[in-house]
Amino acid sequence: MKKNRAGILGTGFYLPDEKLTNFDLEKMVDTSDEWIVERTGIHERRIAGKTMATSDMAFNAAKMALEDAGITPDELDLIIVATISSDRIIPSTACMLQNMLGAAHAAAFDLTAACSGFIYASSVAAQFIESGVYKKILVIGAETLSRFINWQDRNTCVIFGDGAGAAVYGAVDGEYGILGFDLGADGAGGDYLDIPAGGSRCPASIETVENKLHYLRMNGREVFRFSVKIFGETILKSLEKADLQKKDIDWLVPHQANIRIIKTGAKRLAVPMEKIIVNLDKYGNTSAASVPIALAEAAHNKVFKKGDILALVGFGAGLTWASCIMKWSREE
């Protein structure tokens, strides 16, 4: 009898209606459409309205994923929300989402691994499912990064956007599902991408607000160097654990950080660009929401077919990285 593996039963995603284009940014900061596109590949990004929070976007993505999976909220055993832009410090966004969904039987917690968060959370879900502890788990990556952006800092304001992506995990036939994953971190690079204030080391004060320490800061050069290096390395490790090779990849679903990083990683893995899911031109970098939005959008566009080998990869603040190899189990 084949062992059950954790696989995706349904997906969903949500993007706010408001678009912020490169031409809009030209009026706000010293930049240009040409400069942004050349360095990042981004043309526009979505921005949440003033009354919309991370949990609201997570809720919309979750509803879509649950409907796609054909299950109801009361069937969920666990909800994991990957985010660095939670509604509040406490309670967790996952607990708020549990209440919004009416998922009365589900445990809930947030996971903080920045742009690697969705894959980190998926690996956690897989352990619960494959051990038989839980049967249905909702994993969401959701971010409202626009709340933490300094719109006078062109190093960051041109890159990030808001959105949410979701996946329902459950047991699938052992031939399918997550075949291997790799997680990693290098805390020595933590200062390369951070929000300095608001935590226990540097609590909120008049001084921290005046000094703009509640906004995201990034050492772009160091983050780029790290990302280019780790992109291929982590996928190769996941492939080894799955007993597969580069040539076996049917689709690559990368974190939507920068088109140059994606192209460099694709070249190393010998994956043609037409086999890579790219939507950063429309949505920018949505951190933990990036991979699940790309995955869900492609799935709902019927890009994947049953049996396809997918490689997912994320990398970002922490520094963290994560990848997984899965065999698509759905008949789209």
Question: Which of 124, 149, 174 represents a domain boundary (last residue)?
Answer: 174
Let me know whether 149 and 190 are in one domain. Answer: no
Query: Cβ neighbours of residue 154 under 8 Å, at least 6 residues apart?
Result: 29, 30, 31
pLDDT at 268: 92
Residue 256: both structure tokens together: 């939507």
Let me know whether 209 and 315 are in one domain. Answer: yes
Let me know whether 183 and 159 are in one domain. Answer: no
Let me know whether 130 and 279 are in one domain. Answer: no
pLDDT at 259: 96
DSSP state of 131: T
Let me know whether 109 and 127 are in one domain. Answer: yes
Let me know whether 100 and 183 are in one domain. Answer: no
Question: Which of 142, 174, 206 represents a domain boundary (last residue)?
Answer: 174
pLDDT at 1: 41
Is the residue at 110 inside a domain? yes
Let me know whether 162 and 144 are in one domain. Answer: yes
Q: Tell me the CA distances in angstroms from 205 to 151, 195, 197, 208, 216, one per residue in order.
A: 21, 14, 9, 5, 17
Please say whether the beta carbons of 176 and 322 come within 8 A: no
Query: Using CA atoms, how far apart are residues 55 and 251, in angstroms rounded to an integer?
Result: 30
Let me know whether 217 and 155 are in one domain. Answer: no
Query: Using CA atoms, how far apart are residues 190 and 250, in angstroms rounded to an integer?
Result: 33
Is the residue at 91 inside a domain? yes
Q: Tell me the CA distances in angstroms from 40 to 23, 122, 191, 216, 329, one per residue in order.
A: 15, 27, 21, 18, 33
Residues of the chain predicted below pLDDT 50: 1
pLDDT at 331: 81
pLDDT at 12: 98
pLDDT at 4: 79
What's the gap between Cα 194 and its chain centre? 17
Is the residue at 332 inside a domain? no
Query: Cβ neighbours of residue 32 under 8 Å, at least 6 residues apart?
Result: 22, 26
Please say whether the beta carbons of 148 and 86 come within 8 A: no
Let me know whether 124 and 90 are in one domain. Answer: yes
Question: Which of 113, 145, 174 represents a domain boundary (last residue)?
Answer: 174
Q: What is the pLDDT of residues 154-187, one digit of tens each?
A: 899 999 999 999 999 999 988 999 999 999 999 9
Positions annotated as catalytic residues are 115, 255, 285
Is the residue at 307 inside a domain? yes
Let me know whether 272 and 167 are in one domain. Answer: no
Query: Using CA atoms, how far apart are residues 78 and 127, in angstroms rounded to an integer?
Result: 12
Let me know whether 195 and 148 are in one domain. Answer: no
pLDDT at 174: 81
User: What is the domain-level CATH number for residue 292?
Assistant: 3.40.47.10
Query: Using CA atoms, how far apart are residues 83 and 140, in angstroms rounded to an integer?
Result: 8
Please say whether the beta carbons of 57 and 14 come within 8 A: yes
Let me know whether 13 and 159 are in one domain. Answer: yes
Domain that holds residue 43: 5-174
Query: Using CA atoms, how far apart are residues 60 and 202, in angstroms rounded to an integer?
Result: 33
Considering its fold, how many domains does the chain have in total? 2
